[in-house]
Structure 1
Amino acid sequence: MSWLFPLSMLMALSVDRLWGEPPTWAHPVVAMGRYLGLFKQRLCNLAPQMAFVAGALAWLAGAAGVIALALVIEQLIWLGLTPWAGPGHLIAAGLLMGLLLKPLLAWRMLREEVAEVEVALTRSLEDGQSQLARLVSRDTRVLSAVEVRETAIETLAENLNDSVIAPLFWFAIAGLPGAALYRFANTADAMWGYRGRWEWAGKWAARADDLMSWIPARLTGLALIVTRPAHLGRLLPRLWREAGRTPSPNGGWPMGAMALRLDRRLSKPGHYCLHADGGEVRAGDGVVAQRLASQALVLLTVVMAAAAAGMRGAWW
């Protein structure tokens, strides 16, 4: 049965490619967001220490619920897999697990939203800024066309990890509960992990996401570099330095790798500048960035699927 997890990963990515996101009413990430939204005003109105404790408890309660539900579902799927189960039964179980994994990752939607930024820019700067605002929380109205393109590519690189690689990584490690827990942690960080009045309430969520993203982010950055083996010796040392330029302990790895691979400067004014001696981002760089991201995804999916098969083979 060691091949069931690779089959599930392939199924999830195939469904994502063909049909994209499930309807809102059936989307587990939407349900996670609704749960987290219940605490929005209450947490912000608390004193800092109380906000931290309450935020941590709300996060832990939600995480426990997500893990428990995913574990029950996974166990129900595996329940009928006895040593005498036929190949058809095994394949059906793997495919069903893939269907359940799919809503926990979003590669097609990410690619389409990022690509639409360039399309919108061909109409006007205002349209490009408006489209980009669907992807990022910063004020896009003050960005130039170059900065809009930079931000879109940064978003693609960072979310290649957050929305695709990391869920697959945790699925390979801990099955459906692992992928679901990661998605909950990432959603909580996106909703709560802000400075200002949210800083204390979201501190636990932000640190939990940092921890769970630590290995996948570095794998994503390395995969983006490894897919150009001729320049591996030159790019790897530079990636280490570029990754340390961002306030985030993880975001700099995929974004820095993308900047180096494109040989383009990617920056967020007042926060960081990656590959400062690179060229200015131009129209068409987004298409190249999507191709590089796809190559890294294929490479890491193969590696993680093989690792999952090896671990399950050792256990079973």
Structure 2
Amino acid sequence: MQKSQRLIELMMVINMKKNVTVSELAEEFGMSPRTITRDLRDLSELGFPIYSVQGRGGGYRLLRDRMLPPIGFLESEAIAIFLACQSLQYFGSLPFEESSNSALRKFYHYLPADVKEQIGRLKDKVVIWNPRRSMPSEDLGTLLKAVMTRSVVTIRYRSSEQGDSCRDIQPIGLYASNGYWYCPAYCFLRKTYRLFRADRIESAALNPAVPFREDVDRRTVFDWEASEKEQMEQTTFVVRLTPRGVVKLEPNGRFEGQVQRLADGSGEIRMSIPVNDLSFYCDMIWEIGEDATIVEPEQAVTGMKEKIERMRSLYA
């Protein structure tokens, strides 16, 4: 086997494994340990990110992320990837911002000239608007890494009601809504599930000292609070919508499947929600303005009337 071919195969083997020893590589390639050691040194000098680990259980490991093998894409798939990235450009922060930009540059570099031209024509032609909210992308990245590596995170959290606090959480996932990133997680301090708004997290660091909980890991961003909500006091939330109100509210994930369209294009929402979440839902309806009217519960109707009076007084 030629040395160049052997070096390429060495890179692929190291990519596939978390760590590897010289003796393992020598046996696999049928080479002497001295030759394999020399090859590993040559790879390092060429910029392949490996480092040696001394002592028992040592060997060679990748210094950074493992490299994936080449993947062939159809032209339509390449365009789809760029459109997917385009849809994220108006987020103020992403949990993988630096890596996504780097990957996109590499990907674009090797495209045929005619495909580059087609994709270039999409710039400023296809835009997916999203409110821009900024926060440290490093903290978002830490939350995402915790989900992928099954880890607990220690955060410093800024709450509008309780001020700053330091707590350990086990993130269930991440989702974005109206430009904000949210992290449903199990809070070890409160011993229950909480929803954290990511821009209020002032610092985040993985904490291997806190045991990972398998029962928490089985939850998703779709069902993380289902059992807790069932135990809360419920109320029936009813809202009437104009046709324009239906269009405004249907994209809101909180009301997915809850908007009933009527024959004239208007709509109605009738759903059961926890009493503690009532003000949260009322705030979302307030944003729809005159195209939505809360019918019940009476507590919500009274709250909206009081809010209207406070607004009226500002313009008196």
Normalising by the smaller structure, the TM-score range is: under 0.3
Report the structure, 1 or 2, having the larger strand content: 2
The higher-RCO structure (CA 8 Å, 6+ apart) is 1
Larger radius of gyration: 2
